[in-house]
Amino acid sequence: AITVAPGRQAPFVAGDNLDGYFGGMTQSVGKGEGYVTRAGTLLLDYSSIVDGIANDRAHSAEQVLPYGRRARFANGATEEMALLSKQRALAISVANPRPASLAVAPMLVKAGALRQDGDVVTGAVGGMFVAFAADQPFTLDAGPVLRSTQPARSFTVVAAFGASEAEAAQSARRLA
């Protein structure tokens, strides 16, 4: 891991070992390229939320990892993003020292309406389809925001992309 000094913005890139990569900027939200494939940018960035308050990545202790990033916040929370090798998918986790309402807010590019069908959320994005699944029950709030239905100490959301809605949903469920 490469530790980035608080307040220092630096670009980083992590690949999915297929045809995609995540180009990000440390200590910021929405300033990098995001998750990019041949279809273009599909996910610009994301933020993590604890008890309704977005974690402030600009003031985090951040590490660049071979597969993504990890940020630690003054409130004790951590978030981690990992591109999943040989998959068109990434996992975003948020953790807190005590049980809390945890959420992930993906920033999609050229997204159509999202809909929740049980344990998965699907929609069209940038000429492909996206599906979100999680390691525990969640609700879809406006934004979009995927929020744990019960207080938890950790919450992981998988965003998977595919040529069809069914392919993306199947991948997200399997990887979550």
Residues 6+ apart with CB under 8 A from 166: none
The pLDDT of 14-31, averaged and rounded, is 92
CB-side neighbour CA atoms (13 Å) of 123 = 19
The reported pTM is: 0.94
> How does pLDDT run across 78-115, given as a tens digit for each residue?
999 999 999 999 999 999 999 999 999 999 987 888 99
> How does pLDDT run across 53-87, given as a tens digit for each residue?
999 999 999 999 999 999 999 999 999 999 999 99
